[in-house]
Amino acid sequence: MAARSRWLLAALSCLLSANAYAVDPPAKAGEILITELLAEPKQVADYYGEWFELVNVSGRTLDLNGVSIRDKDGEEIQISTSAPTNVRYFAAGDRLVFGVWSDTNVNGNINLDLVYDFTNFKLDKTGDEIYVYYGALLIDAVVWDSTWGLTDGYATQLSPTVTSEWANGLDVNWCDASTFISPKGIYGTPGAENTACPGDGVDTDGDGFTPSEGDCDDGDAYVNVGTVDGGDASERFGALDDDADCDGVRDDGLTDDDGDGWTETEGDCDDEDEFVGPTSAEGRVANAIDDDCDCYIDDLDLDGDGATELAADRYDPGIFSTVSDPIEGFCADPALGDCDDADDTIFPGATEIPYDQIDNDCDGADLCDADGDGHDALICSGDDCDDEDAEVHPGLPDADAEIDGKDNDCDGVIDVYDQDSDGFGMYEGDCDDLNPEVSPDVAELCGDTLDNNCDGLYNEDCAEDALGGGAKGSSLLCGPALPAAGGLAWALAAAFGLARRRRQETR
């Protein structure tokens, strides 16, 4: 029995040893992140003080045997079976600090997990790169240049809000470390969680998300946790080969994860639920889900007329949220919502009934301009005296083309039209409405044979002989002659018009 117990203890010891864990090498990009580096420190010599930090964000222990750290000039650090156990078997969430000198008395008081040869790998403050590879698989990369502005004596650190390999390659997500390390006066957090960057609580790009809320690129308004990942470089989506939704996976909006025939870039607002998509229906039971992906939660069709009420308090753009609102092609236009979801005769597109004080088609108003001439009917407190005729409304000339028996300008008088623009129409006493020199208020001219003032006579009160004046339409006898029957009728009409004009002037 004792022998058997000793065998069990030995087996258990073997299983618990580091080398006995069933661990795998990195399998995809982003499982290891470069999170901090110190290039050319001012307080100590480069060949003593340079270092960088890696973090395992894969969620599992990784075997780093075969992992290499390189730059584009061919400098390289290889990790092999001879690496320290804590380095080779990189535990989830752990941090590894790689540096060129292990003596903390001379390297700036930095505790290292792995020491590499300075001649094999150097960091240039004005521009350089760190690539982490497993074979041909690029796991992470940070490339910087002089525009990053690395500060002497300050480690450059990744914002602790960043968790994806795509985002940690963006200079907007890096800043100077703020933790002081004595006694050399270097700033950094090697082996510990990075401190917040100055802008982590500020929404710099105005997309509604701060870095501390998961915005992995706060310099791009189309990159945030509430957008769609993949597509083109449009206002709705980030460019291809990115992580626009900041979930650590590039372009996952291009795949139909739930098999419902729609991807996120095509309008699927929940690509993990096959019953949610642009062709799904909200139904008539509230479930707190935007089933049809129109950016409105539980916009139910209660009256069954095919339209739903798009109420503002139900609006939630979800993954379609960007600085553009609403998202064209995805979010429904609230102007197309059912304005009365308790009445199935009222909905967008319904036939509008004029003057019933009901907005039947949900366009925002009752129909008060039935003829579409821009003037509301009198019943709607408008000024259109005939809302069934577009040729009748204030501002039109009366009888524009001909005497039509209509009060075209709605002034209460039918067919008063001034054709020669002299201020008088035919029914206002103008006896020649084609001649602007003839109207009731002009002075009579002598010698022109015209009744200039439309009083039925011409050349009256003139010094000419009898042949030079008389009644319009008379014979050539001396003095005025009695007009013929037609002339008399005309004269009476003219006199009536003149008298009417004068009565109007005296009102």
Give the pairing of strands 95-99 and 114-115.
Answer: parallel
CA separation for the pair 121, 100 (Å, rounded): 9
Following DSSP, what letter does each residue of 159-201 receive, concatenated? Answer: -TT--STTGGGSGGGEEE---EETTTTEE--TTSPPPPPTTTT
pLDDT in tens, 318-373: 777 654 444 456 888 877 777 777 777 777 767 777 887 777 767 767 777 778 78
- pLDDT at position 326 is 43
**Tell me: the pLDDT tens digits for 236-254?**
565 677 788 888 888 888 8
Q: Which two tokens stand for residue 169?
A: 């390659």
Residue 85 domain boundaries:
21-187
Residue with tokens 């197309």: 336
> Contact at 8 Å (CB) between 388 and 370?
yes
DSSP structure class, residue 320: G
With tokens 């002081």, the residue in question is 180
Quote the DSSP letter at residue 238: P
> What is the domain-level CATH number for residue 148?
2.60.40.1260
Domain boundary, last residue among 187, 217, 235: 187
Whole-number pLDDT of residue 380: 80
Residue 242, burial from CB neighbour count under 10 angstroms (0-12, 13-18, 19+):
buried
Residue 473 located in a structural domain: yes
3-state secondary structure at position 467: helix
Tell me, what's the pLDDT at 130?
A: 98
With 0-12 / 13-18 / 19 or more C-beta atoms within 10 angstroms meaning exposed / middle / buried, residue 458 is: buried
The one-character DSSP state at 10 is H
Among 187, 216, 233, the domain boundary falls at 187
Burial of 318 (0-12, 13-18, 19+ CB in 10 A): middle
Instruction: Identify the CA nearest to 32 among candidates 115, 130, 139, 127.
Output: 139
- Residue 156, phi then psi, degrees to nearest 5: -95, 125
pTM across the whole model: 0.57
**Structural domain includes residue 479:** yes
Residue 244 lies in a domain: no
Could you tell me whether strands 186-187 and 470-471 are parallel, antiparallel, or unpaired per DSSP bridges? unpaired
Q: Which of 141, 168, 187 is the last residue of a domain?
A: 187
- Percentages helix, strand, coil for the chain (3-state, rounded to 5) are 15, 15, 70
The stretches in the chain having pLDDT less than 50 are 1-20, 233, 323-327, 401, 465-468, 473-507
- pLDDT for position 155: 97
Provide the CB-side half-sphere exposure for 251 (13 A, CA).
Answer: 9
Provide the sign of the torsion angle of the four alpha carbons 484, 487, 491, 492, taken in this order. Answer: positive
Count of structural domains, the chain: 2
Instruction: Please tell me the number of Cα atoms within 13 Å of 183 on its side-chain side.
Output: 3
The confidence score (pLDDT) of residue 26 equals 97
Cα–Cα dist 281/277, whole Å: 8
Q: Which residues, at least 6 apart from 303, have a Cβ–Cβ distance to it below 8 Å?
A: 338, 340, 341, 342, 343, 344
Look at residue 167 and tell me if it is in a domain.
yes
Task: Find the DSSP H helices in 397-463.
Answer: none
